[in-house]
């Protein structure tokens, strides 16, 4: 019997603010929310007898997926479900109609139906892709309850909104070993992302073995690259999880690492060294020499055979053309061929590379710089400089992906990534035919400040919000609901082996040399790394700089500061409850009292000395907040001198301190602004 409507956000056409229909309607803790769900009465219990049965079409990948589900469930519950035993009578029935494509194809059916009752679970799908997704939905629904580990009864009918839901990882600026890639593929599977875009080459490293041009990895990677066997292993691992792997070899710019061994590819004579700094650099391939295309043809042939996916990314971004301007040979080529400027020269290069990519049986993809008059229509445009290029591309007959707004390296809150929609902005005005060319989007993990140690916390949990944007109905937009479910997903991802939470405490432990991290964590919990691209302008960094400071350890988004901001919203609006006032005072007192505890410890470690002024400043910010709360509660005016001096102090505290932001200061500033004007 259906006792309640689905969680309102789970229904595509329901208002996000509608009240649940009945008292039992606890929102489903799923991310991404399914396209359709109906909650039922009761729950399915998970105990040591839990067992799975496969019906219909079968293949080894399904059995492996079942074992993986049991492993995660065993970790989460502590119940030894992953042991091999025939004790259990199956209660989880998986019915698969038929196979999926041998090489996973864009736009394959990923739908599934999951029916959970108190007695049994039935998961059905046209092919294994839907089964994989349905298993993740089941895992997300499990929770500890007074009755043990249970899964609420529900009927889910689900399919994705967009067929291309990706995560790009840059392994050039900081190399990421295979195990890091694998655990992040596990995270992608958990939130139903289906494309791993592997940014394999850039100025700072060429990261894959090329038997044809071994100088690429031998001289261009400092020894940090993947063997072809390792690449195959990752591709198989991804396929097991319903994830395509699209390689990117960035050209004609962002290619210095190629030139270390093959300087003749560049537009100026060498020698070249692997780039160690961050930014945009001048070296670029020479688009006027046939030898350049012969090399590219041979390399793409080799890589097209290694990577089975139908799509092949050639980058194309940020070529500044300075080497082209400075080369008399290139200038005379442009003159002879009536190529008017560098954009036209890059378009010429793009056309020739596209022909090579097509000859090797692949569809080319490039960053939005490749969108030029004359660019072949089957090139897929990845929009990063702004969403407008996506709408422009779709109008011009090109297919495209949105990444503008999904740059998770910029350290922005999950809400900022949750808002941009591939069919938002100008794309909302496209015809249905044009809109159908918008395939989805990709989160991008550029790795200037990302190491194997902290990469998980830069990707998760915020990427789950992007995954929801790309999977769930467009009407799913409630930010509070997103944050509530993001917290659940973040916790669950730990059972998949992701280290986005544990790396934080481990890194704090390094900073204190094993001493108690409690006080350092109080500070870390309310600061964030500076936003956007500012970090590189505040301090000198290169690829050898240790990323072992507080800025590298703390999550990009402070959950405590976000919750404090909501308390301050309520207090300044006059709607805060007594409990909210108490919570605000308790936090401010904690932050105020932390400094005397922390100061002596900070001085003991070279990694934390720089935090001494920040800790003192947090203490004073908190003291201001406590004074403001007292005055607000008593409806008293502040002393004018005090208010003037503290407002100016708070303003200064909102600016970057070193490379960190005090995320409490803006909220305390708002409390002071709210105080009655004296007199």
- Binding region for ligand ACM (CB under 6 A): 317-318, 367, 384
Token pair 């400089």 is at which residue?
Answer: 385
Nearer CB in complex with ligand ACM: 317/494? 317
* Contact between 259 and 283 (Cβ < 8 Å): yes
Q: Which two tokens stand for residue 488?
A: 């659940």
Residue nearest to ligand ACM (CB): 317
Distance (Å, whole) CA 320 – CA 303 = 26
272: exposed, middle or buried (Cβ count in 10 Å: 0-12, 13-18, 19+): buried
CB 367 to ligand ACM: min, Å: 4
Query: Do residues 456 and 445 touch, judged by C-beta distance below 8 A?
Result: no
**What DSSP designation does 516 have?**
-
- Retrieve residue 572's tokens: 């300044």
Sorted by sequence, the CB contacts under 8 Å of residue 566 that are 6+ apart come out as: none
HSE (CB half, 13 Å, CA atoms) of 96? Answer: 25
Residue closer to ligand ACM by CB (options 249, 367) is 367
What is the closest distance, in whole angstroms, from the C-beta atom of residue 371 to ligand ACM in the complex?
Answer: 13
With contact defined as beta carbons under 8 Å apart, do 116 and 153 qualify?
yes
What angle, rounded to 10 degrees, do the helices at 479-493 and 462-471 form? 120
CB of 556 to ligand ACM, least distance (A): 17
Strand residues in 516-641 grouped as ranges (E): 527-529
Min dist CB 550 to ligand ACM, Å, is 26
318 is catalytic: yes
Tokens of 614: 């920040």
What does the alpha-carbon distance between residue 408 and residue 90 come to, in Å, rounded to a whole number? 41
Q: Would you say 447 or 653 has its CB closer to ligand ACM?
A: 447
- Output 50 or 349, the one with its CB closest to ligand ACM: 349
Interior angle at CA 619, CA 617 and CA 625, nearest 5? 105
Residue number, 316 or 461, with CB nearest to ligand ACM: 316
Quick count: other Cβ atoms within 10 Å of Cβ 375?
20
What is the nearest approach in angstroms of ligand ACM to the Cβ of residue 384?
A: 4
Q: Are 240 and 61 in contact (CB under 8 A)?
A: yes
Integer distance in angstroms from the first to the last C-alpha of the chain? 65
- Looking at the Cβ atoms of 367 and 564, the one nearer to ligand ACM is 367
Question: Which residue has 């445009």 as its token pair?
Answer: 381
C-alpha to C-alpha distance for 594 and 615, rounded to whole angstroms: 8
Signed CA dihedral, 490, 492, 494, 498: sign only: negative
* Residue 582: cis peptide before it, omega within 30 degrees of 0: no
Residue 349 vs 384, nearer CB to ligand ACM: 384
Task: State which residue, 284 or 614, has the beta carbon closest to ligand ACM.
Answer: 284
User: In the bound complex, what is the minimum distance in angstroms from residue 529's beta carbon to ligand ACM?
Assistant: 18
**Shortest separation between residue 110's beta carbon and ligand ACM, angstroms:** 27
Interatomic CA distance for residues 281 and 318, integer angstroms = 9
Residue in 67, 318, 610, 654 annotated catalytic: 318
Q: How far is the CB of 280 from ligand ACM (least distance, A)?
A: 8
Which residues participate in catalysis according to the annotation?
Answer: 318
């Amino acid at each position: 019997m259906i006792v309640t409507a689905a969680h309102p956000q789970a229904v595509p056409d329901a208002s996000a603010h509608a009240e649940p229909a009945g008292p039992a309607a606890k929102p489903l803790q799923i991310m991404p929310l399914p396209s359709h769900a109906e909650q039922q009465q009761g729950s399915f219990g998970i105990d040591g007898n839990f067992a799975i049965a496969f019906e219909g079409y079968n293949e080894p990948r399904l059995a492996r997926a079942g074992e993986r589900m049991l492993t995660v469930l065993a970790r989460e519950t502590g119940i030894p479900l992953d042991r091999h035993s025939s004790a259990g009578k199956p209660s989880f029935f998986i019915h698969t109609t038929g196979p999926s494509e041998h090489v996973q194809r864009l736009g394959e059916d990923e739908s599934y139906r999951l029916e959970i009752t108190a007695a049994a679970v039935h998961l059905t799908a046209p092919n294994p892709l839907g089964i994989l997704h349905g298993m993740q939905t089941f895992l997300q629904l499990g929770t500890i309850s007074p009755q043990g580990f249970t899964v609420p009864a529900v009927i889910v009918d689900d399919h994705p909104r967009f067929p291309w839901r990706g995560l790009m990882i840059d392994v050039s600026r900081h190399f990421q070993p295979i195990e890091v890639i694998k655990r992040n593929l596990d995270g992608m599977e958990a939130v139903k992302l289906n494309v791993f875009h592997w940014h394999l080459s850039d100025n700072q490293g060429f990261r894959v073995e090329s038997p044809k041009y071994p100088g690429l990895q031998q001289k261009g990677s400092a020894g940090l690259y993947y063997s072809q066997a390792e690449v195959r292993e990752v591709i198989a691992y991804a396929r097991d999880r319903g994830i395509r792997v699209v390689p990117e070899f960035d050209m004609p710019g962002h290619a210095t690492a190629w030139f270390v061994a093959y300087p003749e590819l560049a537009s100026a004579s060498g020698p070249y060294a692997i780039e160690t700094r961050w930014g945009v650099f001048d070296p670029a391939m020479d688009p006027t020499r046939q030898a350049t295309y012969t090399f590219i043809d041979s390399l793409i042939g080799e890589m097209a055979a290694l990577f089975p996916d139908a799509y092949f990314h050639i980058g194309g971004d940020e070529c500044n053309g300075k080497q082209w301007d400075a080369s008399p040979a290139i200038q005379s080529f442009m003159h002879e061929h009536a190529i008017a400027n560098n954009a036209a020269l890059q378009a010429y290069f793009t056309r020739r590379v596209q022909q090579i990519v097509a000859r090797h049986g692949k569809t080319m993809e490039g960053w939005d710089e490749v969108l030029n008059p004359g660019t072949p229509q089957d090139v897929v445009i990845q929009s990063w400089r702004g969403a407008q290029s996506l709408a422009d591309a779709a109008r011009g007959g090109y297919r495209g992906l949105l990444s503008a707004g999904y740059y998770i390296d910029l350290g922005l809150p999950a809400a900022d990534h949750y808002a941009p929609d591939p069919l938002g902005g100008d794309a909302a005005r496209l015809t249905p035919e044009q809109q159908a060319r918008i395939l989805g989007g990709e989160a991008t993990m550029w790795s200037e400040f990302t190491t194997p140690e902290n990469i998980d916390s830069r990707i998760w949990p915020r990427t789950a919000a992007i995954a929801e944007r790309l999977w769930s109905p467009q009407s799913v937009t409630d930010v509070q609901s997103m944050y509530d479910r993001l917290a659940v997903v973040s916790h669950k991802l730990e059972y998949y082996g992701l280290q986005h939470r544990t790396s934080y405490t481990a890194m704090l432990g390094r900073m204190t040399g094993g001493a108690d991290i409690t006080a350092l964590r109080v500070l870390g919990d309310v600061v964030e790394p500076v936003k956007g691209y500012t970090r590189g302008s505040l301090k000198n960094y290169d690829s050898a700089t240790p990323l072992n400071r507080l800025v590298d350890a703390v999550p990009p988004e402070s959950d405590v500061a976000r919750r404090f901001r909501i308390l301050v919203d309520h207090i300044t609006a006059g709607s805060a409850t007594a409990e909210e006032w108490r919570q605000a005072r308790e936090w401010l007192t904690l932050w105020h009292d932390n400094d005397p505890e922390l100061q002596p410890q900070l001085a003991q470690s070279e990694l934390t000395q720089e935090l001494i002024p920040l800790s003192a400043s947090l203490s004073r910010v908190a003291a201001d907040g406590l004074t403001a709360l007292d005055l607000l509660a008593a409806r008293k005016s502040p002393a004018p001198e005090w208010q003037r001096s503290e407002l100016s102090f708070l303003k200064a505290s909102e600016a970057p301190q070193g490379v960190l932001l005090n995320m409490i200061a803006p909220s305390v500033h708002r409390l002071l602004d709210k105080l009655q004007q004296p007199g």
